[in-house]
């Protein structure tokens, strides 16, 4: 099966225009016969929102999502946005859309509040890492800072995720002559490690473009279950990256390195209880 990674440059606060762009990329993914199309963190709203957070929020019933809901009858779609709940709580969320419905929601668990980041002032933190069935198999969505806490990947791993969908809006830092930001190399190292240790495909979907003086670092990539980078996007351009995924490769990786078989979550739980006491 094929998966498409949509490296896009959202416009800050322009939800309708960002949805139109997403529709264009999804249609291209359908032409490439992909079963799933994945977009970056906050791809429908832009990232540096601050007070705009509450103006651009999207509920699960928002009619502006209808074009994506309709396309999801042909392909699975993962998009990032500000979600508003019935309780008027606001989350940095990702929706997995399939068969005309929102099938799964991940709410960003870890909200960065260092450097340029101030997310916890404007959004609530999620408290759950789950898996869901996608066209390519069981997967888990994690959003940017979530990946810097390996507990989230561990929870996805324990629940049998075969695909880690890592959505990001990572600003570039330390540009290098070889056409890559320094932090993009760190993300690649992370993807190589997580994919190898979990025997999973790792899809890193970052954005490009600029907002409020920040340049986002692109370099979206896909790592296979052996930790090999099999495809990578450019640092600056919008791009649709499409790859073949093979369940047989996951199987062989997990036979060669049977970490899931040998994992001991009850031991971890006992030690967590001890530490918390």
For residue 264, pLDDT over 90 is answered with: yes
pTM: 0.95
What is the model's pLDDT at position 133? Answer: 97
pLDDT of residue 175: 60
- Residue 180: per-residue pLDDT: 66
Summarised one tens digit per residue, pLDDT across range 93-127 is 999 999 999 999 999 999 988 777 789 899 999 99
- CATH classification of 2-276 is 3.60.110.10, yes or no? yes
Confidence band for 170, pLDDT divided at 50, 70 and 90 = confident
User: Between these two residues, 235 and 17, which has the higher pLDDT value?
Assistant: 17
102: tokens are 């929102």
CA–CA separation, 198 vs 230, rounded Å? 17
Residue position matching structure tokens 């069981």:
138
Q: What is the pLDDT of residue 242?
A: 98
Does residue 192 surpass a pLDDT of 70?
yes
Task: Tell me what pLDDT residue 176 has.
Answer: 59
* Four-CA torsion 231, 240, 111, 124, nearest 10 degrees: -140
Q: How far is CA 164 from CA 56, 87, 119, 170, 204, in A?
A: 27, 29, 23, 17, 8
The answer to whether 11 and 46 are in contact (CB under 8 A) is: yes
- Residue 121 CA, chain-centre distance (Å), reads 22
Length of the chain: 277
Question: Residue 45 contacts by C-beta under 8 Å, 6 or more apart in sequence?
Answer: 10, 12, 13, 15, 18, 52, 56, 58, 80, 81, 82
> pLDDT of 118-165, one tens digit each?
898 999 999 999 999 999 999 999 999 999 999 999 999 999 999 999
| CA-wise closest residue to 224 among 196, 258, 184, 190 | 196
Q: pLDDT tens digit string along 224-250? A: 999 999 999 998 899 999 999 999 999
Could you state, in order of their start, the residue ranges of all structural domains in the chain? 2-276
């Amino acid at each position: 099966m094929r998966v498409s990674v949509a490296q896009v440059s959202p416009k800050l606060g322009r939800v309708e225009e960002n949805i139109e762009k997403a529709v264009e990329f999804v249609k291209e993914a359908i032409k490439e016969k992909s079963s799933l199309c994945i977009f970056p963190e906050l791809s429908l709203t832009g990232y540096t929102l601050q007070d705009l957070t509450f103006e651009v929020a999207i509920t699960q019933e928002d009619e502006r999502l209808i074009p994506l809901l309709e396309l999801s009858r042909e392909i699975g779609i993962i998009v990032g946005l500000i979600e508003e709940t019935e309780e008027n709580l606001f989350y940095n969320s990702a929706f997995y859309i399939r068969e005309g419905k929102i099938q799964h929601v991940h709410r960003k668990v870890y909200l960065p509040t260092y450097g340029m980041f101030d997310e916890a002032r404007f959004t609530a933190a999620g408290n759950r890492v789950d898996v869901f069935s996608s066209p390519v198999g069981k997967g888990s969505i994690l959003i940017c800072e979530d990946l810097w806490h390996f507990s989230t990947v561990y929870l996805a791993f324990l629940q049998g995720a075969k695909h880690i969908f890592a959505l990001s809006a990572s600003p570039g830092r330390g540009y290098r002559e070889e056409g890559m930001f320094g932090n993009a190399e760190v993300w690649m190292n992370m993807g190589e490690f997580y994919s190898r240790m979990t025997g999973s495909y790792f899809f890193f979907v970052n954005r490009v473009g600029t907002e409020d003086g920040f340049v986002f670092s692109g370099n979206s990539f896909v790592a296979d279950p052996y930790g090999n980078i099999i495809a990578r996007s450019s640092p600056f351009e919008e791009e649709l990256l499409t790859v073949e995924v093979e369940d047989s490769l996951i199987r062989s990786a997990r036979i060669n390195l049977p970490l899931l078989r040998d994992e001991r979550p009850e031991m971890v739980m006992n030690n967590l209880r001890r530490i918390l006491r």
